[in-house]
Structure 1
Amino acid sequence: MKISLLQQMYKDVLAGVPLARESHHYSSLINLCVEQPPEGDESCHQKPLPSPAGGSESHQDTDMSDVVAAADDLSNSFANMSSSFCPREVMLLQLTLIKMMLAKAQSQEIELHTRQQYCEIFVLLLKEAKIDSKLIHLLGCDDRLLSHMASQSLASLVYFQLKEEDALNARWLRSSLGALLGFPGSAGVPGCLRTLTAILKETLKDAPGAAAGVLKKLLAPLDAVLEGFYNAILLHHFDSHHYTSPYSEAANTLISFIDLLEALLASRMELELPLRCQRILFLKVSYVLNIINSSIPYVIKKKFILLLKKCVLYKSREDAKSGSLFLQTPSLCEDMLALSNAVLQVVNLSWLNQIPLSGKSSCFGSSEAAPGHDSQGASDQTVLRALSLVVLKALEFKIHNSATEAEIKGDFESSMCQLLMFWRSHGKPSPQSHPAVHPCEWLSLVFMEQDDDMWEAAKALLLIYLKFDRLQCDAADKPSQKEEESRKFLVHAGGYNPHCIFLFFLEKIAFDSTVLLDFLISSETCFLEYLVRYLKLLGKEWQQFVDVCTYFDSRHGTFRSVRPPHREERSCLSGESLPNAVCETEARSAMCSAPCHNCPVFTAQQGDNGAAAWNRSDSLTAADSAALLGALQSLVNYDSSEDSEVESDGKECLVNTKQSPSNNEGEVRRRETGCSCRDDDQNPRTSQVSPPKPKGCPASSCWTCMASSDKIAPLRVMLYKSTKCLEELQEAISRLQRRNLFPYNPSALLKLLSHVEKMSKSMNPQ
Structure 2
Amino acid sequence: MKISLLQQMYKDVLAGIPLAKESHHYTSFLNLCIEQSPERDESCNRMHLSSVNSGISSHQNPGISDAVVPIADDASNNFANTNSSLCPREVMLLQLTLIKMMVAKVQSQETEFSTRQKYCDIFVLLVKETQIDSKLICLLSSSDQLLSHMASKSLASLVYFQLKEENTLNVTWLTFSLKILSEFPTNTQVAECLWTLTAIIRDTLKDKDLPKAGVLKKLLAPLDAVLEGFYNSILCHHFDSLHYTSPYSEAANNLISFIDLLEALLVSRVELELPLRCQRVLFLKVSYVLNVISSSVHYLFKKLFIMLLKKCVLYKSREDSVSGSPFLQKPYLYEDMLALSNGVLQGVNLTWLNQIPLSEKASYFGGSEPHPEDNTHGGVDQTLLRALSLVVLKALEFKFLNSTTEAEVKGEFQSSMSQLLTFWRGHLTSSSCSHPVVHNCEWLSLIFIEQDDDMWEAAKALLLIYLKSDRLRHDAVDGISLEEAETWNFFTHANGYNPHCVFLFFLKNIAFDSTVLLDFLISSETCFLEYLVRYLKLLREDWHHFVNICNHFDTKHDIFQAISSDKSPHQGKQNCMTDVSLQNTCCEPGPQVLSLASSRNYLAFTTEQGDNEVAESNQSNSLLCTDSTFLPGSLQSLVNYDSSEDSESESVGEECLANTEQMPLSYEAKIREAVSSCRDDKQNTLKSEVLPLKQKGSNTSSVLASAVSSDNIIPLRVMLYKSTACLEELQIAISRLQRRNLFPYNPSALLKLLSHVEKISKNMNPQ
Q: TM-score, normalised by structure 2?
A: 0.81
Go from structure 1 to structure 2 and tell me whether the alpha carbon gap of 1:238 and 1:614 turns closer, same or farther (over 3 Å shift): closer
Q: Give the drift of 1:706.
A: 5.6
CA spacing shift, 1:268–1:283, aligned 2, 3 Å:
same
Q: Aligned-pair distance for 1:301?
A: 1.0
| Map 1:373-452 → 2, pairs under 5 A | 376=377, 378-427=379-428, 433-452=434-453
How far apart are residue 685 of structure 1 and its match? 7.0
1:590 to 527, 550, 557: 557
Which residue identity does 2:125 align to in structure 1?
L
Contact between 2:106 and 2:120, CA under 8 Å: does it hold in 1?
Answer: yes
Equivalent in the alignment of 2:684 = 678
In structure 1, the partner of 2:589 is 618
Structural mapping, 1:196-595, within 5 Å: 196-207=197-208, 210-315=211-316, 319-321=320-322, 326=327, 328-360=329-361, 362-369=363-370, 376=377, 378-427=379-428, 433-554=434-555, 589-590=556-557
Which residue of structure 1 lines up, in the alignment, with residue 631 of structure 2? none
| 1:154 equivalent in alignment to 2:121 | no
Contact residue 139 and residue 148 of structure 1 kept, 8 A? yes
How many Å apart are 1:89 and its aligned residue?
3.4
**1:731 Cα deviation from its structure 2 partner:** 1.2
- Whether contact under 8 Å (1:245, 1:251) holds in the other structure is yes
Tell me if 1:609 matches 2:572: yes
The range that moved more, 273-282 or 119-128, is 119-128
Distance 2:209 2:328 in 1: 19
- Local SS of the residue matching 1:666: helix
Q: CA deviation at 1:656?
A: 11
- TM-superposed CA distance for 1:46, in Å, is 4.4
- Contact 2:444 2:455 (8 Å CA) reproduced: yes
Q: Does the CA contact (< 8 Å) of 1:686 and 1:705 recur in 2?
A: no
Q: Distance in 2 between matches of 1:445 and 1:422?
A: 13
User: Aligned partners of 1:324 and 1:718: how far apart in 2?
Assistant: 41
Cα distance between partner residues in 2 of 1:441 and 1:82: 70
Partner of 2:23: 23
Q: CA deviation at 1:35?
A: 2.6
Q: Report deviation, 1:47.
A: 2.9
- SS of aligned partner of 1:315: helix
Paired with 1:621 and 1:471, the residues of 2 have a C-alpha distance of 34
Give 1:764 deviation, angstroms. 2.2
Structure 1 residues 292 and 431, CA, compared in 2 at 3 Å: closer, same or farther? closer
Residue 138 of structure 1 contacts residue 147 of structure 1 at CA under 8 Å; is this kept in 2? yes
**In 2: Cα distance, 1:215 partner to 1:227 partner:** 16
Give the corresponding residue for 2:716.
715
Alignment-derived partner of residue 47 in structure 2: 47
Give 3-state SS (helix, strand or coil) of 1:360's partner. coil
2:669 to 642, 667, 674: 667
How far the C-alpha of 1:222 sits from its partner, in A, is 0.4
The range that moved more, 338-347 or 102-111, is 102-111
Query: Residue type matched to 1:307 in 2?
Result: L
Give the Cα–Cα distance (whole angstroms) in 1 for the partners of residues 753 and 200 of structure 2.
Answer: 47
Q: Is the 8 A contact 1:45 1:188 kept in 2?
A: no
Q: Is the 8 A contact 2:686 2:729 kept in 1?
A: no
CA contact (8 A) 2:690 2:762 kept: no
Comparing 532-541 with 84-93, greater Cα deviation is found at 84-93
Alignment gaps of 5+ in structure 1: 62-77, 555-588, 642-654, 694-699
SS of the residue 1:141 aligns to: coil
Q: Deviations over 1:145-174 (max 9, x none)?
A: 222221111111101101111111111011
The residue number in structure 2 matching 1:733 is 734
Sequence identity percentage = 64
CA distance in 1 between counterparts of 2:584 and 2:199 reads 57
CA pair 706-362 structure 1, distance change in 2 beyond 3 A: farther
- Higher mean displacement: 713-722 or 527-536: 713-722
Unaligned runs of at least 5 residues, structure 2:
64-78, 577-582, 625-662
CA distance in 1, matches of 2:723, 2:704: 20
Q: Per-residue deviation at 1:511? A: 1.3
| CA gap 1:325/1:495 in 2 versus in 1, 3 angstroms | farther
Alignment partner of 1:170 is 2:137: no
- Residues 684 and 757 from structure 1, CA distance in 2 versus in 1: closer, same or farther, beyond 3 angstroms? closer
Which residue is equivalent to 2:627? none
The match for 2:71 is none
Superimposed CA distance per residue, residues 411-455 of structure 1 (whole angstroms, 9 cap, x where no aligned partner):
000000000011111136886743133211111111111111111
Provide Cα deviations, 1:627-682, integer angstroms capped at 9, x if missing partner.
Answer: 987973454349999xxxxxxxxxxxxx9977999932222111111143439995
Letter in 2 for 1:678: N
In structure 2, the CA distance between the partners of 1:604 and 1:47, relative to structure 1 (3 Å rule), is farther
CA distance in structure 1 between the aligned counterparts of 2:145 and 2:329, rounded to whole angstroms: 43
> In the alignment, what sits opposite 2:104?
103
Tell me which amino acid in the other structure corresponds to 1:669. Answer: I
Aligned-partner Cα distance in 1 for 2:317–2:469: 26
Aligned to 2:10: 10
Partner AA of 1:413 in structure 2: Q
| 1:572 corresponds to | none
Measure how far apart 1:120 and its partner are. 1.3
- SS of 1:204's partner is helix
- Given that 1:316 and 1:327 are in contact with CA atoms closer than 8 Å, whether structure 2 keeps it comes out as no
Report the more deviating stretch, 205-214 or 135-144: 205-214
Checking the alignment, whether the CA contact within 8 Å between 1:159 and 1:202 is kept in structure 2 is yes
Post-superposition Cα deviations, 1:374-416, rounded to whole Å, max 9, x if no partner, equal: 5646211111111101100100111111111111011000000
Q: Does 1:122 align with 2:89?
A: no
Question: Deviations 1:79-122 (Å, cap 9, x if unpaired)?
Answer: x9855854433333322221111121122221111011111111
Q: Does 1:113 align with 2:87?
A: no
Q: Retained in 1: the 8 A contact 2:244–2:298?
A: yes
Which residue identity does 1:47 align to in structure 2?
M
What is the CA distance between 1:765 and its match in structure 2? 2.7
1:632 paired residue number:
609
- RMSD, matched Cα: 4.0
Kindly provide the CA deviation profile for residues 505-526 of structure 1, in whole angstroms up to 9, marking residues without a partner as x: 1112111111111111111111
CA distance in 1 between counterparts of 2:443 and 2:533 reads 23
Name the amino acid aligned to 2:226: V
Change in 2 beyond 3 A, CA 1:318/1:393? closer
Counterpart residue type for residue 256 of structure 1: S
1:647-666 equivalences under 5 Å are: 663-666=665-668
Per-residue displacement from partner, 1:465-499 (whole Å, max 9, x unpaired)?
01101101111353332222111111001010111
CA contact (8 A) 1:2 1:81 kept: no
Task: Sort the Cα spacing of 1:358 and 1:82 in 2 relative to 1 into closer, same or farther, 3 A.
Answer: farther
Shift of residue 33 of structure 1? 2.9
How far residue 4 of structure 1 moved from its aligned partner, in angstroms, is 4.4
1:580 aligned partner: none
- 1:631 & 1:254 partners in 2: Cα distance? 53
C-alpha spacing 1:633/1:87, structure 2 compared with 1 (3 Å): farther
The one-letter code matched in structure 1 to 2:408 is E
Change (3 A) 1:604 1:84: farther
Q: Secondary structure at the match of 1:704?
A: helix
- Using the TM superposition, give the Cα deviation of residue 614 of structure 1 relative to its aligned residue in structure 2, in angstroms: 5.5
Amino acid corresponding to residue 29 of structure 1 in structure 2: F
Q: Which amino acid in 2 is paired with 1:468?
A: S
One-letter amino acid matched to 2:669: E
Most deviating of 733-742 and 613-622: 613-622
1:33 correspondence with 2:26: no
Q: Is the 2:31–2:130 contact (alpha carbons within 8 Å) kept by the matching residues of 1?
A: yes
Given the superposition, is the C-alpha separation of residues 685 and 484 from structure 1 closer, same or farther in structure 2, using an over 3 Å criterion? Answer: closer
What is the SS of the residue equivalent to 1:274?
coil
Structure 2 CA distance for partners of 1:185 and 1:479, relative to 1, 3 Å: same
**Alignment check: 8 A CA contact 2:152 2:192 kept:** yes
Equivalent-residue separation in structure 2 for 1:283 and 1:176 (angstroms): 24
Using the TM superposition, give the Cα deviation of residue 368 of structure 1 relative to its aligned residue in structure 2, in angstroms: 1.8
